[in-house]
């Protein structure tokens, strides 16, 4: 995945706040990468409502 690419949130790995759960199935844009401790790379995703949070790459799918 690349910065600027559109992605859809397809699943959530961990327990997260309701604001993040509400993004399940929604499309956002990759804005940045985040190094996480031993779990791989995280991606910062920004949604149309300007809400932004990070997800693991396996929680996302490419959106065309």
pTM (predicted TM-score):
0.88
Sheet of 27-36: strands edge to edge? 52-56, 40-46, 27-36, 6-9, 60-62
Asked if residue 9 has pLDDT above 70, the reply is yes
* Residues in contact with 51: Cβ distance below 8 Å, sequence separation at least 6, in sequence order: 19, 23
pLDDT, one tens digit per residue, over 22-64 is 999 999 999 999 887 776 789 999 999 999 999 999 999 999 8
pLDDT mean over 2-9: 97
34: enclosing H helix or E strand? strand 27-36
């Amino acid at each position: 995945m690349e910065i600027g690419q559109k992605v859809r949130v397809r699943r959530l790995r961990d327990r997260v706040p309701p604001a993040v759960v509400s993004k399940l199935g929604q499309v956002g844009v990759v804005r940045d990468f985040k190094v996480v401790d031993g779990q791989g790379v995280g991606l910062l995703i920004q949604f149309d409502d300007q809400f932004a949070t990070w997800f693991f790459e396996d929680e996302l799918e490419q959106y065309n």
